[in-house]
Structure 1
């Protein structure tokens, strides 16, 4: 696992307010098979399948879901170990796309996560089951014209969360056209839920 940090990594889409945002507890890590972490033969097969499907004009969703759930099975334990090592007892979780595939099972298992921003993922059965256990405040991003995740599937995942405080942010545009202002919204969301002195 990449060494966890207390601040978010640099992100060109993140607003300046991101670095000042409460709760000032932003552990981050690189998922298995990404960044500087070596790819396994399994990673290589999944990535090859994804590029093959893309080149053939076939749906990518089934491959992305399968691979991301495999990565989540590894990453959830890594995240919990990182939170243990950092000594955090209360954190927020931000993760879109693969971050949602990792975040849903993590949030369902770890009571230290008190609020979350998720979205842009498919309603895989295991994620739906875990989402039904999540009651923390939630902000959920969905692209209305997503070419990969059908609108009804994104809405089904949002609907599955048991949270009584959950907000759907539906934006016009394709999968990669998530507006930059959603990062500012996430900062405000966490500021509301993690008041600092």
Structure 2
């Protein structure tokens, strides 16, 4: 793990880093020492590790909970060059969608393939970040919707360090079998009028989670609409319950 730059503002310390060729960013409370929970944020399609929506949530989690937050660019996003295979499939999918094909199965197949790259990358990021003195090997949470959900379900299913997950705007076609292996608490969010992920697919994914503690949140709106602030408030309370935040010294 190589730190490229550091900065601090409004009580939040930011470190841009690379892990091999993987670019990422870590946020912690300014002056933090010792072990604390870590939340991984998976960004949406077409976004990146420092997209305004990611920054906003990361800052809320750090400020309200005293946790560390990490996010990395998924292949073909942010500071990463186009991934030849994924870029080709994404281009083909766009043409097929414009020709009238159903969006949901195309997205499901793409996310299933992309997860084959991202899951081992994210697990390596956890290894590296938790070696830092101001993060340590505390409990881990995950937040991700849309693409962040499609990649997050296989990540949470594969990673025993994750204790709780907020997921949403995703469907069951790509993830139902993996979702059944998830037994940690889950908060699942859907946009009731989502035009990209059929409501029935989202409900099927929620039903597939093997968690005994899970909650379904629905709000009016379409896939790309801004998520209501009360959903972020709820995510903060959810992680506070399940990650047992460690106060900043």
User: Once the 2 structures are TM-superposed, how far is the Cα of residue 178 of structure 1 from its aligned partner?
Assistant: 4.7
Equivalent residue for 1:159?
207
Structure 1 residues 44-193: aligned runs within 5 Å: 44-87=87-130, 88-125=137-174, 127-181=175-229, 182-193=231-242
Q: Which secondary structure does the structure 2 equivalent of 1:26 belong to?
A: strand
Give SS of 1:38's match.
coil
SS in 2 for 1:174: coil
Q: Distance in 1 between matches of 2:51 and 2:214?
A: 26
Gaps of 5+ in 1: none
Deviation at 1:12, TM superposition (A): 3.4
Contact 2:171–2:203 at 8 Å: present in 1 too?
Answer: no
- CA RMSD, Structure 1 to Structure 2 (Å): 2.0
Provide TM-score, normalisation by structure 1: 0.89
**Higher strand proportion (structure 1 or 2):** 2
Contact kept? 2:171, 2:197, Cα under 8 Å:
yes
Q: Does 1:21 align with 2:64?
A: yes
More displaced stretch, 115-124 vs 44-53: 44-53
State the alpha-carbon separation in 1 of the partners of residues 197 and 187 from structure 2: 18
| Alpha-carbon offset, residue 29 of structure 1 | 0.9
> Residues of 2 paired with 1:75 and 1:21: CA distance?
28
Residue range with higher mean Cα deviation, 179-188 or 9-18: 9-18
Partner of 2:52: 12
Instruction: Output the CA distance in 2 between the equivalents of 1:184 and 1:11.
Output: 19
In 2, Cα distance between equivalents of 1:70 and 1:21: 35
Give the equivalent residue in structure 1 for 2:244.
195
5+ unaligned residues in a row in structure 2: which ranges? 1-21, 29-40, 42-48, 131-136
Larger helix fraction of residues: 1
Q: In structure 1, what is the Cα distance between the partners aligned to 2:66 and 2:198?
A: 33
Residue 114 of structure 1, CA deviation: 0.2
Is the CA contact 1:3–1:29 (under 8 Å) kept in the aligned structure 2? yes
Shift of 1:19: 3.3
Give the count of matched residue pairs. 196
Give 1:195 shift. 2.4
Cα separation, 1, equivalents of 2:221 and 2:116: 31
Question: Cα offset for 1:184?
Answer: 2.3
